[in-house]
Amino acid sequence: MSRESANGHKEPILVSACLLGLATRYDGKTKRSKAVMEYLQGENLLPIPICPEQLAGMPTPREKTFFKSGNGLDVLAGEGHVVSESGESMNDIFCRGASMVLQIGHLSNCRRALLKERSPSCGVHLIYRGEARVPGTGVTTALLIEEGFEVVSEEDL
């Protein structure tokens, strides 16, 4: 089903920039996804590229980050912890990035997002707690869901 408004404009959707082929990941690489590109084209969607970490001012490349405790919802509630490999607390930075993505979503009239699985910002179903993959959402995903956005990962396509 093609998504187009009555005036013929494509529906905007927030998309993790790395999935679109931009080198925004912590390691300076991309995770361009053919499935994502085909989905966006097939559904006639307008991708709005976002990278919460870059929006919050983090460089690329940057230290790997992961959850020390909790998940994105817990971080938003002030109870979970995202840390860098060197042990620095990243909660404020990740919350700032999530807030900026939400603002971009509102400014672009998005109601949906397609985000990178397992990211501490964008994970939809899975995140890393230390080296372990565990069920949970990233900080940005948690905020978008709280604000009523429909969020899927590239692995849901």
7-47 residue pLDDT tens: 568 999 999 999 999 999 999 999 999 999 999 999 999 99
Closest-CA residue to 56 (of 12, 1, 104)? 104
**Residue 57: CA atoms inside 13 Å, Cβ hemisphere, count?**
6
For residue 61 the two structure tokens come to 């490349």
Q: Tell me if 155 sits within 8 A of 116, measured CB to CB.
A: no
pLDDT per position as a tens digit, 45-86 = 999 999 999 999 999 999 999 999 999 999 999 999 999 999
For residue 55 the two structure tokens come to 């929006």
pTM: 0.94
pLDDT per position as a tens digit, 84-128 = 999 999 999 999 999 999 999 999 999 999 999 999 999 999 999
